[in-house]
A and B are shown apart, each in its own frame.
Chain A
Amino acid sequence: MTALLGSRSDVPTDVRPGTTPVPRRRRRRFTVESTAPLLLVFPAIAILLVFRVYPLILGVNFSFTGDQELNGVFIGLDNYVTLMNDVRFHAAARNVIVVLLFVPIEVFVAGILATFIFLKVPGHRFYRSVYFLPVVLSPIIIGAIFNIVLAANGPLNELNRAVGLPIVDWLGQSNSALPSVLGVHIWATFGMALVIFLAGFSTVDQELLDAARIDGATLPQTIWYVVIPELSQTIQFVFVTTTIGMLTGLFGLLYTMTAGGPGAASYLPEFLIWKLNGEAKPALASAASVVLLLLILVIGLLQIRVLRRATKEV
């Protein structure tokens, strides 16, 4: 008790010597000042909870139940075991790695083209709009266009034929189907990454660039020691959004261009989820969704960590 009193006496008060000590009043919990911010953010949080978190929890919950005659019955991890034994799931998981290999390509393409535009190459305004144009096209339309372009008797193969290269059924062969779709995806979406890069360039400190020039830094040195560290936040952001875009935004192209085939060669988790749902196995599809969620979470966090080191951000 004395200790408690002693500790209390340590609390600094605004009592000044010579004034009568005022008995301390307990702070009121619910003042306008303390509740107003909560009230103001409540709608946003409520929307997030009701439309994002709650369905997510329902989905996870649903993935522990069975399908068809076992509808609504708790079956533990059976759906996850089924997934682990499904060749399509194996193919989808393998293909995620292929997709990740294409992420640096898209970031590099966007980065290098953004640099050219930043350096104001002749016609940079024209190129900026041209690069961004495919972003506004629907994946279904892009898929339909490239179905024709990449067809066995399509223009690309005609070009091959004209220069004496072999004909390739780009979308009908296991080793070329997914890379073709990813190539088209990069073409269709790098414009967005490019715009983000351009926004990032505008934040590069001109004084640092000038200082580097005065110190006699070469162009590669300037890029490596000044521009990349300055753009580290932007590069991180582009990497993460491009990865998420590739993992969750390929459905339209896959659906129109390969339908997952040949075999399961171009299956991705997202396509598998849709396919399983169509096979009247919504609970199994939920399990696949949970795996995809975890996968994106882990990959996203790892990427941020790796990129922080790579871009030398302190």
Chain B
Amino acid sequence: MKRMINSAALGLAAALTLTACGGASAGGGTGGGSGTDGGTADKLVVWNWGAADDAAAAFQEDVIATFNEQNPDVEVEVVSQPFDQYYTLLGSAIEAGTGPDVALFNGGTQLKSRAGSLVPVTDELADITGDLAGWPAFQADGETYSAPMFLQGFPIYYNKAIFEAAGLDPEAPPTTWEELGAACDTITSSTDVSCFALGNKEGLGIEFFLSGFGSGIFTAEEYDAWIDGERDWTSEHARQVLTMWSESSADGWYNEGANSTAMFNDSFDIFSGAKAAMVIGLSSGIAHWKQFDEFLGDDLGFMMPVTTNEGTTLALPIEGGIGYGVLNEDKKDLAVDWIKATVERDAQADYALAGGQIVSNTTVELDTDIASAQAIITELPGSKPLLHTSLSGDTLDLLHRLGQQLLVGEVTVDEAAAQLQASEG
């Protein structure tokens, strides 16, 4: 045993000695990159997190084809990285000078916090500004860093058949918080399904709740200030969000065991399987109008957030979801061509239908008779960015954990608000 202690001590001593030599810089190249400081001109290295399905793969092929029409001699090398490690790998690669020429980013915090590494393309994209919606998520300090490909939002979907069975008017969903509460009471008492489907195992439920209902709780000024980073979690309306979240659970709105139910896709399966009347879903990618339509058909309804406080302006919470940012200044022209190819009208129109996307290109007419999709598009002009994507990673993680604890009453609203405020720094 002595020998074990001795060798452990020796190892630590050696480690401490080495520490004096300075910090280790993170990882080397993670492959694929042609380097931000050089590389061949006839190749464009693109990083993304892969195609989720056939429709996404087809869209990627369309984009490459469009790009190659303009740049026939340029080879596109697409490197797919796993999403859960994506930003760590990208950060390491940029640090080591082996980053790609262009990389896919989530709009909002993920892109804005990395604006320092990106090449601004404000002037280059000026000619397509009018055609696309969702720009703010890709702009920082007056510069534009990417063009939004798709719009991601948190619309509220409901099941008309369950509304009807509960004796509610399926064509007139609730418009105020009181009406919503009354509707939930009716649904839970007169049917055996829950009012809302909720999966909170990862703690995501509260961010859907915050962004989903936010415009009916915060005044327009508070909302804009929140997005701009002026947040006060101890303010009346921020605390109200936490209270509403906690009380909605106490009032039995959600399916049993929400904290142990995965959001993707167990909670959405609860809604698709008609075991819950409503759900806060997504507009693109997954858990969206097209996916729900396959199960519910004409029974699928879309409703706007409800008015909780007077003086608020209801808005569909939606913003630019993902877009490519330019990392290699030397290949800026090629990169801009790539970005423009990703928002090209025909490719987007095909993908919107095949993959179930609300695309950023407003000249695309979504050729579907799914009513909820058309209703979402109708609300786009007055839409607002999502409240939770402007939070820092640390605050968001804390919000996830507090959301779970609030749901089972293990923390009070005041304690949660104080902790969140402290994490804002």
Q: Which residues of A contact B (CB under 8 A)?
A: 53, 56-58, 60-62, 64-66, 68, 71-75, 88, 147, 150-153, 167, 169-174, 258-259, 261-264, 277-280, 282-283, 297, 301, 304-305
Which of A169, A262, A282, A305 has the most chain B CB atoms closer than 10 A to its own CB? A262
Contacts A57-B11, A60-B15, A61-B15; is A152 near B257 (CB within 8 Å)? yes
**Which of B4, B19, B408 is in CB contact (< 8 Å) with A262?**
B408
In the complex, what distance in Å separates the CA atom of A277 from the CA atom of B92? 12
Q: Is the CB of B257 within 8 A of A73?
A: no
Which of B22-30, B120-128, B149-157 has 4 or more CB atoms under 8 Å from chain A?
B22-30
Q: Is the CB of B88 within 8 A of A262?
A: no
**Chain A residues within an 8 Å CB radius of B85:** 278
In the complex, what distance in Å separates the CA atom of A261 from the CA atom of B14? 38
| A81, chain B: closest CB distance, angstroms | 16
Q: Is the CB of B407 within 8 A of A262?
A: yes
Interface size class of B (residues with CB under 8 A): 35 or more
Confirm or deny: B91 has a beta carbon within 8 angstroms of a beta carbon on chain A.
yes
Which of B11, B12, B394, B404 has the most chain A CB atoms closer than 10 A to its own CB? B404
Q: Is the CB of B201 within 8 A of A278?
A: no
Chain B, Cβ-Cβ closest to A256:
B262
**Which of A53, A57, A172, A305 is in CB contact (< 8 Å) with B258?**
A172
Chain A, Cβ-Cβ closest to B5:
A301
Q: Is the CB of A174 within 8 A of B410?
A: yes
Question: Which residues of B in the span 169-210 have a Cβ within 8 Å of any Cβ on A?
Answer: 201-203
Q: Is the CB of B19 within 8 A of A61?
A: yes
Contacts A172-B260, A262-B259, A263-B411; is A71 near B397 (CB within 8 Å)? no
Identify the 5 closest CB pairs spanning chains A and B, nearest first: A152-B257, A65-B23, A172-B259, A262-B404, A72-B25
Q: Is the CB of A301 within 8 A of B88?
A: no
Question: Which residues of B in the span 361-394 have a Cβ within 8 Å of any Cβ on A?
Answer: 393-394
**Chain A residues within an 8 Å CB radius of B394:** 279
Q: Is the CB of A172 within 8 A of B25?
A: no
Q: Is the CB of B260 within 8 A of A167?
A: no
Contacts A68-B91, A152-B257, A153-B257; is A60 near B26 (CB within 8 Å)? no
| A214, chain B: closest CB distance, angstroms | 37
Q: Is the CB of A152 within 8 A of B23?
A: no
Chain A, Cβ-Cβ closest to B113:
A68
Contacts A61-B23, A282-B26; is A172 near B88 (CB within 8 Å)? no
Confirm or deny: B68 has a beta carbon within 8 angstroms of a beta carbon on chain A.
no
Q: Is the CB of A65 within 8 A of B260?
A: no
**Which of A53, A75, A150, A297 is in CB contact (< 8 Å) with B260?**
A150
Q: Is the CB of B95 within 8 A of A171?
A: no
In the complex, what distance in Å separates the CA atom of A152 from the CA atom of B91? 40
Q: Is the CB of A279 within 8 A of B14?
A: no
In the complex, what distance in Å separates the CA atom of A304 from the CA atom of B5? 13
Contacts A258-B201, A261-B401, A263-B401; is A57 near B14 (CB within 8 Å)? yes
Confirm or deny: B84 has a beta carbon within 8 angstroms of a beta carbon on chain A.
yes
Which of B15, B88, B256, B405 has the most chain A CB atoms closer than 10 A to its own CB? B15
**Chain A residues within an 8 Å CB radius of B257:** 151-153, 169, 171-172
In the complex, what distance in Å separates the CA atom of A64 from the CA atom of B8? 19
In the complex, what distance in Å separates the CA atom of A305 from the CA atom of B257? 44
| B400, chain A: closest CB distance, angstroms | 8
**Chain A residues within an 8 Å CB radius of B404:** 172, 261-263
Other than the given A64-B23, A263-B405, 14 more pairs (CB < 8 A) read A57-B18, A65-B25, A71-B91, A72-B22, A74-B23, A75-B23, A151-B260, A171-B259, A172-B201, A172-B261, A261-B202, A263-B402, A278-B84, A301-B4
Contacts A167-B256, A258-B260; is A65 near B24 (CB within 8 Å)? yes
| A87, chain B: closest CB distance, angstroms | 8
| B324, chain A: closest CB distance, angstroms | 20
Confirm or deny: B1 has a beta carbon within 8 angstroms of a beta carbon on chain A.
yes
Confirm or deny: B226 has a beta carbon within 8 angstroms of a beta carbon on chain A.
no
Which of B5, B21, B87, B260 has the most chain A CB atoms closer than 10 A to its own CB? B260
In the complex, what distance in Å separates the CA atom of A258 from the CA atom of B15? 35
**Chain A residues within an 8 Å CB radius of B12:** 60
Contacts A152-B256, A172-B259; is A72 near B19 (CB within 8 Å)? no
Q: Is the CB of B87 within 8 A of A280?
A: yes
Q: Is the CB of B407 within 8 A of A57?
A: no
Chain B, Cβ-Cβ closest to A86:
B394
Q: Is the CB of B22 within 8 A of A74?
A: yes
**Chain B residues within an 8 Å CB radius of A277:** 88
